[in-house]
Amino acid sequence: MSEPVSSIRNLGPAMDAACAKAGITSAEALRDIGADEAYRRLLLSGLRPHFIGYYVLVMGLQGRPWNDCKGDEKKALRVRFDAIKAEVAGRTDGMPPGIEQFLDQIGVVPKK
């Protein structure tokens, strides 16, 4: 039996719902894809970007308290967050957010 996303430290029911909308249906799936890919998928599904939400996710996947992120580590995470946000904002393929993931799940999107 799979565990809900909210079984991961720092994550609650709102993240369960957001992840489900992004096609991430379990804690195991979230761990498998990692924080950066998960956040990219969350943004593509319509989640508004928020740096704190991103680093809370990163800290949670590391089993650390959300407020453990400080100094140079936090600066490095900000760079990663900005890159993910820019990638998603720069999409020019004309597809609505989230549809590429759905099409990939059913085997319609050609491999890049």
Tally of domains within the chain: 1
Percent of the chain predicted with pLDDT > 70: 81
Low-confidence ranges of the chain (pLDDT < 50): 92
Residue 110, in any domain of the structure: no
pLDDT tens track for 67-92? 999 999 999 999 999 999 998 887 64
- pTM for the whole thing? 0.78
* Residue-range definition of the domain harbouring residue 46: 5-105
Contact 84, 39 (CB under 8 A): yes
Residue 112, in any domain of the structure: no
Using a 10 angstrom Cβ sphere, with 0-12 exposed, 13-18 middle and 19 or more buried, the burial of residue 58 is buried
Residue 54, in any domain of the structure: yes
What CATH number should be reported for the domain holding residue 53?
A: 1.10.150.20
